[in-house]
Structure 1
Amino acid sequence: MLGIFGGTFDPVHHGHLRPVLEVQQALNMAGMRLVPAKVPPHRPQPRLAADARLHLLRLAAADYHGFSVDTRELQRSGPSYMVDTLASLRAESGADDALCLILGMDAFLGLPTWYRWRELERYAHIVVLNRPGSRRPVNGEFRDWLAERELRTPAGLREAPAGRVWFQPVTQLDISATSVRRLIAQGRSAQFLMPLACWRLMAREGWYGYPQVG
């Protein structure tokens, strides 16, 4: 079973890494693919260039067993639609292997706004990072869609290659890329919010206007 976690990673930080590590361990996943977006269709464009974000992400992934960086969205032209990414991963993995798209709760609640979102379940399960206090869909068509696919136990993820939804409890870490960039804009340190190697590189290169030397 393989996990897929996409994002702009602008920059990568422990709020990205710790939850997906917990998912990988809790669900005994063989690996976790971190997929940086080139042109995110649902959010502002990244502040940092793709090659710099990729460099930071590779440094971060090197610290975690089973983590790897998948560059297919950086190599593809046009918007980085997850349905295209999952379709290409499914073509590589074959029909039988379980793939799990990892989503934060905010991203999951916005799923009906995604491009061809109903096709996602053809290619992968959806595993939602369920932090303490997270809200769930409470009414409407999306709630009904979820009710037909939500699992009672994670064992069901291994019984089919795709098409089911599991809410995985994870540790609440109140870290965001926005808050990291805000600290940097204020001339303050982002150390301990991201892997040390990432912080040192970012500081040394002056990315995001970082004023310190790591």
Structure 2
Amino acid sequence: MPWEPRGRAVRLVAGLWMVAAFLLGVVYRSNLKAMLIVQSITLPFDSIEELVEAGFPTAVVKDSSIHRDIMAADDEEILGRLRKQILVYGGKKVIEGIVNSLDGLHPCIGITTALQDIIQSDFSRLGRCRVYMMSNSFLGPLSLSFAFPKGSTLKHQVDPIIRGLRESGVLAKILSKSDFKATVCLKPISSSLISTNHRPLIFADLHGIITLYSVGKFSDAVFKYF
């Protein structure tokens, strides 16, 4: 060996450094290898604009609020441009449309809570995620409300209760609890094992192993000097 540590203290420091270098080297090498060999997929669309450009037939429920918005939109608007590629399912055909979407025959558009319930049921049945949701929603927040007859005295009594539940986060908690089993299915694909968030390696990915190497070389020089 070009350098043999002398003395117990020097050998102890050198031994600890070699063990640390081995462990960190294995960890960094494994992580970097995983970044290079992770399976890559290309999403056909991840926004309403990309869906329109792709031209995929898209399922909607007949007479739903989304269906009415699409039909009432101007031709120049993004929803109006989507009109020519929608597949309308009504009545008993709605189940058929859901099954076709789960089987990958076509995408579908719906209210987030309804789609989450479908994903939850499919995940509970199969134990895996078969579908993904666009990371960019396009209809914005949707209000959940109770309907009362005009002039009802109950409205003024119920409004403060609903407002309090919403502002305290209780409503959001109740809605999220129904999908606890399918939480992994609701994550963006970039956060799962199959990632589309590929990027070139940067210094931050390597600074640990470089620092370890630099400390080792510096210690080697110091020990040789003394």
Q: TM-score range by the shorter chain?
A: 0.3 to 0.5
Q: Considering fraction of residues, name the structure with more strand.
A: 1
Larger Rg: 2
Q: Which structure has the highest helix share of the two?
A: 2
TM-score, length basis structure 1:
0.32
Q: TM-score, normalised by structure 2?
A: 0.31
